[in-house]
Amino acid sequence: MDGAAQPVLDAVHAAAVTYCVAVYKAQAEVFETLCHDDFHMVCVDSPKTQLWDKTAYLARVTARNAAEGDPVYEILSVEADGAMARVKLRVGVPGVVYEDYLGFVRVGDDWKLINKLFRTYDGPAAG
């Protein structure tokens, strides 16, 4: 990797960490700015996929309570090419672990979350 690419990967990684902390802490206000206006997400847990837009996602986050303690997450991979990036990660909250494939697009100097494809696993017990 050339040195010019590292700042881009670092910026995408930072956006992914911001996402993980906001999921863990149920910070809908973070997603207001992190998510692109055209954000959408897809859950593949059931035989029929479930779809949500930004408004529905914010409502889901708002309905949850913040988890206690330090955020639990693992960034598994980060790739970027031009104005798009992809991140694979896991973030746990009491009772569930989300495995996410996040798509980001560059808007000016910022990386905005445009899509999320995810599934869930049983997670740690509530504190």
Contacts of 100 (CB under 8 A, 6+ apart): 87, 88, 89, 90, 91, 116, 117, 118
Give domain limits for the chain: 5-122
* Phi, psi angles (nearest 5°) of residue 46: -110, 170
| Mean residue pLDDT across the chain | 92
User: Which residue do the tokens 């913040």 mark?
Assistant: 66
Q: Average pLDDT of 102-119? A: 97
Q: Of 75, 95, 91, 94, which Cα lies nearest the Cα of 14?
A: 75
5-122 folds as Nuclear Transport Factor 2; Chain: A, (3.10.450)
Please state, in angstroms and rounded to a whole number, the distance separating the CA atoms of residues 2 and 117: 29
Check residue 1 and give its pLDDT.
46
Check residue 122 and give its pLDDT.
81
Q: Report the percent of the chain where pLDDT is more than 70.
A: 93
Check residue 123 and give its pLDDT.
65
More confident residue, 67 or 127: 67
Confidence of residue 73 (pLDDT cuts 50, 70, 90): very high
